[in-house]
Amino acid sequence: MLKGDFNENMGRVFIIYTGGCLSAAAVLVLMSALGVSDHVVGIGFVLLTVLFYALMGLLARTRHAGEYYEAGRRVPALYTGMATAADWMSAASFIGMAGAIYAAGYDGLAFVLGWTGGYILVAVLLAPYLRKFGQYTVPDFLSARYGGKPARLMGIVVLATASFAYVVGQIYGTGIICARFLGIPFELAVFVGLIGILLCSMLGGMRALIWTQVAQYVVVIAAYLLPMILLSTRETGIPVPQIMYGEAMQHVAELQTQLGLTPDNLGINDRVNFFGLILCLMLGTASLPHVLSRFFNTPSVREARTSVAWSLLFICLLYVTAPAYAAFAKLEVYNHVIVPSLSAGPDWLAAWSKVGLMSLKDGVFSIDPDAVVLAAPEIAGLPFVVAGLVAAGALAASMSSADGLLLSIANALSHDVYFRLIKPQAETRHRLILGRVIMVLVALLAAWVASQRPAGILTVVGWAFSLAASGLFSALVLGIWWKRATNAGAVLGMAAGWAVCLFYIVATQKLGMAPWFGVKNIAAGLFGLPVSLGVTLLVSLFTKAPSQEMQDFIDSIRVPRGQVKMVPKTE
Amino acid sequence: MAKDALTPENARRYWRETSRLMWLVLALWFLLGLGLHAFSNSLNQVVILGFPLGFYLAAQGALIGFVVVIFWYTRRQNRIDEDFNLSED
Give the pLDDT confidence of A134-184 residue by residue, as tens digits.
877 888 899 999 988 899 999 999 999 999 999 999 999 999 999 998 888
Residues A201 and A406: beta-carbon distance below 8 Å: yes
Q: Lowest mean pLDDT of A288-292, A369-373, A376-380, A489-493, name the range.
A: A288-292
Instruction: Indicate if the pLDDT at residue A424 is higher than 60.
Output: yes
pLDDT attached to residue A402 = 85
| pLDDT tens digit sequence for A236-246 | 989 999 999 98
In angstroms, the CA A50 to CA A399 distance is: 9
pLDDT attached to residue B2 = 40
pLDDT attached to residue B30 = 96
Report ipTM for this prediction: 0.94
Pick from A270, A379, A242: nearest CA to B50 = A242
pLDDT attached to residue A10 = 63
| pLDDT tens digit sequence for B4-35 | 677 888 889 999 999 999 999 999 999 999 99
Query: H helices of A34-96, where?
Result: 38-59, 65-72, 77-88, 91
Query: Are B11 and A278 an interchain contact pair (Cβ–Cβ within 8 Å)?
Result: no
The rounded percent of chain A whose pLDDT value lies above 90 is 41
Residues A174 and A196: beta-carbon distance below 8 Å: yes
The neighbour count for residue A366, using CB atoms within 10 Å, is 9
Which residue of B33, B34, B88 is in closest CB contact with A560? B88
The CATH number given to A6-558 is: 1.20.1730.10
Average pLDDT over residues A283-301: 86
Residue of B nearest to A299 (CA): B88
What residues of B are in contact with residue A330 (Cβ under 8 Å)?
none
Domain boundaries, chain A: 6-558
Is B31 an interface residue toward A (CB < 8 Å)?
no
pLDDT attached to residue A564 = 85
Average pLDDT over residues A102-122: 93
The neighbour count for residue B22, using CB atoms within 10 Å, is 16
In terms of C-beta distances under 8 Å and separation of at least 24 residues, what long-range contacts does A72-76 make, across chains too? A72/A210, A72/A294, A72/A297, A72/A298, A73/A297, A73/A298, A73/A299, A74/A5, A74/A6, A74/A7, A74/A299, A75/A6, A75/A7, A75/A210, A75/A298, A75/A299, A76/A7, A76/A299, A76/A303
In angstroms, the CA A427 to CA A434 distance is: 11
Residues A185 and A179: beta-carbon distance below 8 Å: yes
Query: Are A123 and B73 an interchain contact pair (Cβ–Cβ within 8 Å)?
Result: yes
Instruction: Indicate if the pLDDT at residue B47 is higher than 50.
Output: yes
Which residue of A101, A267, A561 is in closest CB contact with B40? A267
DSSP 3-state of A519: coil
Query: Are A312 and B67 an interchain contact pair (Cβ–Cβ within 8 Å)?
Result: yes
What residues of A are in contact with residue B54 (Cβ under 8 Å)?
106, 266-268
Is B74 an interface residue toward A (CB < 8 Å)?
yes
Query: Interhelix angle for B62-83 vs A301-319, to 10°?
Result: 170
Residue from A80, A93, A116, A131 whose CB has the most chain B CBs within 10 Å, to mutate: A116
Which residue of B14, B22, B63 is in closest CB contact with A124? B22
pLDDT band at A230; cut points 50, 70, 90: very high
Which residue of B5, B44, B63 is in closest CB contact with A561? B5
Instruction: Indicate if the pLDDT at residue A306 is higher than 90.
Output: yes
DSSP E strands, A254-309 = none
| pLDDT tens digit sequence for A430-465 | 777 787 788 889 999 999 999 988 888 899 999 999
Average pLDDT over residues A213-229: 86
Q: What is the mean pLDDT of chain A?
A: 85
Average pLDDT over residues A369-382: 91
Residue from B3, B45, B70 whose CB has the most chain A CBs within 10 Å, to mutate: B70
pLDDT attached to residue A136 = 74
Average pLDDT over residues B51-69: 93
Domain boundaries, chain B: 8-83
In angstroms, the CA A445 to CA A154 distance is: 22
pLDDT attached to residue A2 = 47
| pLDDT tens digit sequence for A87-98 | 888 888 899 999
Phi-psi region of A480 (alpha: psi -120 to 50; beta: other; left: phi over 0): alpha
Q: Which amino acid is at A441?
A: L
Instruction: Indicate if the pLDDT at residue A487 is higher than 50.
Output: yes
Average pLDDT over residues A224-231: 93
Residues A257 and A263: beta-carbon distance below 8 Å: yes
DSSP 3-state of A398: helix
Q: Which amino acid is at B24?
A: L
Query: Are B86 and A121 an interchain contact pair (Cβ–Cβ within 8 Å)?
Result: no
Pick from B59, B27, B7: nearest CA to A561 = B7
Query: Are B70 and A123 an interchain contact pair (Cβ–Cβ within 8 Å)?
Result: yes
What residues of B are in contact with residue A562 (Cβ under 8 Å)?
6
DSSP H or E segment with residue B67: helix B62-83
In angstroms, the CA A394 to CA A387 distance is: 11
| pLDDT tens digit sequence for A512-552 | 888 888 888 899 999 999 999 999 999 999 999 899 989 99
DSSP E strands, A227-294 = none
Is B34 an interface residue toward A (CB < 8 Å)?
yes
The length of chain A is: 571
Instruction: Indicate if the pLDDT at residue A208 is higher than 60.
Output: no
DSSP A472-487: IIHHHHHHHH-TT--H
Q: Which amino acid is at A141?
A: F
Pick from A389, A449, A415: nearest CA to A161 = A449
